[in-house]
Structure 1
Amino acid sequence: MRRTRTGAAAALATLLATATACGGGSADSGGGSNTAPRELTYWASNQGADIPADQAALGPELKKFEEETGIKVKLEVIPWSDLLNRILAATASGQGPDVLNIGNTWSSSLQATGALLPWDAENFEAIGGKDRFVASALGSAGAAGRDPAAVPLYSMSYALYYNKKMFKEAGIEKPPATWDEMVTVGRKLSRDGTWALGAEGSNPSNNIHQVFVLSQQHGASFFDAAGRPTFDTPGNVDAVKQYVDLMAKDRIIAPGNAEYDKNQSLQDFAGGKTAMVLWQNAASSFKAHGMKEGDWGTAPVPVPAGGVPGSGKNVNSMVAGINLAVFKNTDNLDGALKFVKFMTSDEEQKILNRTYGSIPPVKAAQSDPAFANEDLAVLRTTLATSAAPLPQVPEESQFETAVGTAVKELFADAAAGRPVTAESVRARLTKAQQMMAG
């Protein structure tokens, strides 16, 4: 595929708050041309148990698209630990795919690079119209007041998954509803070589998702009203320390989880090594690792003592989801729009979201009975009543990297037996804030 290079190499270092990263392609790259390339490159995020599972799930659907349109799709499934860096490198160099998955939390940051196709009225019309999508999902597709940088593909929220057999054997009747209960229950479950809770301590994005929720519960924010970073405020220090202390102090997370970054915590849960995990829409991964319906239960993420999931300090999830974006300089815009239309069609939305245990952001697809089960009922309620969006600022992806890495380093300290104190947490967060300023 042809890609134009520009002078935007600084995007990789600074996340390009303002510069345009990619050019508009060549004069013959627009839609409708009989000479348009008959191939697309698609970067998919790792949604299933592992990369082979995603390849197996997506392969038949991409073949179906090829049979309908004559356009072959070259698929690459990219782990979450690599995806953001790959995208940033592509925006800087101009060497990217035609179509790609992005975490919805990155939408504003990647929109600011200028590399992604804006979804204006004409482009939405090409895929069936904007009003087909749930409004909250579109709200996480770019900065307010601008055309979205992507369209929603999968909607998600976090839940607490627990192993019913391990709970029964430990004499625990119900999952923890508060963090105090989490620690109490967790200590009963952490015994005989098993651990209470799994974590992905080396995954900056997952770290951010967890500490963002705790920050909200502490009444804090990582940015002020003007969009300036406030990483090392007391509430954020308390939030980060509370999360890392689940390993460092409470000892309900295995020290080895400090090195996890590629869904190993899901494998541990499915294998009976841990009794609980905090994750987004994990049912399909559990099944892929050998669990059966009924082996696990699903509950809301814990909130502070005395609280119930809801707004304010009882937020218990970020608004999660995967969006589908098109690189603006694709040399096959017509094909890319057809592919997005296919992937967001009512029928394909049912197939894909059933496969991944996620919630369709396309309204008509939600009527399928498959999306009314116990797991998704918890997730849908969370999205509707107790989830909050991550900061909608151009520097959001830089924030994920800086603070998520600080949490990663603190987990490494905990695993090595080094003390994790309020002072050490504040120092890491101050350093992360200085990195943002630089």
Structure 2
Amino acid sequence: MTAAGAATTALAPVLTGCGADTPGGDTRLKLVAADYGDKEANSSRKYWEGLVREFQKQHSKIKVDVEVYSWTEVDKRVADMVAKGKAPDLAQIGAYADFAAAGKLYSADQMLSIPTQADIIASLAKAGEVHRVQYGIPFVSSTRLLFFNKKLFAKAGIAKAPENWDEIQSAAKKLHAIGVKIPFGLPLGPEEAPAETMMWMLSAGGGYTDQNGSYLIDSPENVKAFTWLRDEMVGQGLTGPGNPARTNRQDVFDAFCKGEVGMLNGHPTLMQQAQAGHIEFDMAPLPGIKGPSKSTMGVADWIMAFKKNGHRDEIGTFLDFIFSKDNVLSFTTQYKLLPVTTSAADAMEESRANSDLWQFLKPLRQAAELYPVSKTSWASVSKTVKEKIGAAVQKGGDPAAVLGEIQREANATELADRSDR
């Protein structure tokens, strides 16, 4: 899962060199990165090209070759490179735990300078740990808020954003009564079902894991959340005509930007899309059972360094450059994402030009909870959630049984991972 995940088109890689050490003693690093743009005009390749140019002005002996791929293929590209024994020096992708568990990555303290390590937001740094050692370095992050269409709310006579489940249902009924196609968008399709699932788990006081990091997917709180969604939202026709199990996030985002959705859970990049669609919208904290949710979901994308080519010192120099305050701000403000360093977050909070991101930034630094990405089993569990969670809210669906099945598969995967170690 990704902080943005906006790219849907496979873009050809941009190459800045051949990717091998040169005879003259210069070192060449290879970085494979994800594209946060959704078209050629805003491709991340332009950011990396500019960054590399500036880096090489200061470090002429370190050359950097960059390949940029869409989110639909970048993780597989890196996995294939590693399987063929041709791991890049650096990969900026969605998950790191499998590579760390296999002993293929440098730890953060082997590469980053002490000031850079200290600058990374502590909760995000901790999320990059496997067995209490940090291997995943957060690259960008995001949180989630409730988006709502101000015109549709006014037309339906809804005075303020919902703060709890009862108010969500009440607002959705009013929107439904005036003919809004999708009163509440509920994307439980395969694109980002684990995210929507986690938001509802957190709103009920649950989550994917307990305080010790053990899976607790079929907890009473989680079952309560999906029983309520089945009976009080989907069963009442308040989530639109489509089947939530086959509804992807971007489908709902697109509908919101056409004025067809009253409210939905969204991340920062939805602001740009809604503005482009001339939608008057506002945002509010995610509702919980009795009041605003005590925590919200955070997502981070990761950068990691492979040991294969032995360029530890040069990698560390480049990473310190990547995580300078100005470079972090340049990327996050361009793509409406959140910084992962304290210095850049402080600067964003002081900049009125970035005031639209302040609501998202506050929970990142206080109450955001991330996927259990440090568990090597998470990739498999996430896949299972994508395949099965939608059935829990369908007519005749059994949330306890669906969540119980996902829990059993998670336990089995976790046990298999431990035995492999």
**One fold, TM greater than 0.5?**
yes
What is the Cα-based RMSD across aligned positions, in Å?
Answer: 3.6
Measured after TM superposition, the shift of residue 278 of structure 1 is 1.0
SS in 1 for 2:406: helix
Q: 1:74 to 1:179 in 2, by over 3 A?
A: same
Q: Does 1:167 align with 2:153?
A: yes
Structure 2 distance, partners of 1:61, 1:371, is 26
* Counterpart AA for 1:231: I
- Asked if the contact 1:240–1:425 (Cα under 8 Å) also holds between the matched residues in 2, the reply is no
2:282 paired residue number? 297
Q: How many residues align?
A: 386
* Counterpart AA for 1:271: K
Measured after TM superposition, the shift of residue 299 of structure 1 is 0.7
1:135 paired residue number? 122
1:375 paired residue number? 356
| Equivalent runs, 1:4-403 vs 2, <5 Å | 34-37=25-28, 40-44=30-34, 47-48=36-37, 50-52=38-40, 54-55=42-43, 57-66=44-53, 68-69=55-56, 71-79=64-72, 88=79, 91-103=82-94, 106-120=95-109, 122-125=110-113, 129-143=116-130, 145-146=132-133, 148-190=134-176, 192=179, 194-203=181-190, 206-223=192-209, 228-243=214-229, 248-254=234-240, 255=242, 257-261=244-248, 263-283=250-270, 285-286=272-273, 290-291=276-277, 295-305=280-290, 307-309=291-293, 314-315=294-295, 317-330=296-309, 336-365=315-344, 366-368=346-348, 369-370=350-351, 373-391=354-372, 392-403=374-385
Measured after TM superposition, the shift of residue 117 of structure 1 is 2.7
1:425 paired residue number? 402
Q: 1:342 to 1:32 in 2, by over 3 A?
A: farther
Structure with larger RCO (C-alpha < 8 A, sep 6+): 1
Structure 1 distance, partners of 2:363, 2:179, is 34
Structure 1 distance, partners of 2:399, 2:281, is 35
1:22 paired residue number? none
Which string of whole-angstrom CA distances, capped at 9 and with x for unpartnered residues, describes residues 352-385 of structure 1?
A: 1111222222222232444775532222222234
SS in 1 for 2:111: helix
* Counterpart AA for 2:136: A
- Asked if the contact 2:147–2:263 (Cα under 8 Å) also holds between the matched residues in 1, the reply is yes
Measured after TM superposition, the shift of residue 166 of structure 1 is 1.9
Measured after TM superposition, the shift of residue 221 of structure 1 is 4.9
- Asked if the contact 2:30–2:89 (Cα under 8 Å) also holds between the matched residues in 1, the reply is yes
- Asked if the contact 2:147–2:282 (Cα under 8 Å) also holds between the matched residues in 1, the reply is yes
Ranges of 4+ aligned residues in structure 1 off by more than 6 Å = 28-33
Structure 1 distance, partners of 2:384, 2:81, is 20
- Asked if the contact 1:42–1:75 (Cα under 8 Å) also holds between the matched residues in 2, the reply is yes
Q: 1:54 to 1:428 in 2, by over 3 A?
A: farther
Structure 1 distance, partners of 2:383, 2:83, is 17
Gaps of 5+ in 2: 1-18, 57-62, 417-421
- Asked if the contact 2:148–2:282 (Cα under 8 Å) also holds between the matched residues in 1, the reply is yes
- Asked if the contact 2:163–2:287 (Cα under 8 Å) also holds between the matched residues in 1, the reply is yes
Measured after TM superposition, the shift of residue 297 of structure 1 is 0.9
- Asked if the contact 1:154–1:323 (Cα under 8 Å) also holds between the matched residues in 2, the reply is yes
- Asked if the contact 2:55–2:321 (Cα under 8 Å) also holds between the matched residues in 1, the reply is no
Structure 2 distance, partners of 1:31, 1:237, is 58
Structure 2 distance, partners of 1:241, 1:97, is 45
- Asked if the contact 1:175–1:299 (Cα under 8 Å) also holds between the matched residues in 2, the reply is yes
Structure 2 distance, partners of 1:152, 1:31, is 30
Measured after TM superposition, the shift of residue 334 of structure 1 is 6.0
- Asked if the contact 1:101–1:323 (Cα under 8 Å) also holds between the matched residues in 2, the reply is yes
Q: 1:325 to 1:240 in 2, by over 3 A?
A: farther
- Asked if the contact 2:245–2:389 (Cα under 8 Å) also holds between the matched residues in 1, the reply is no
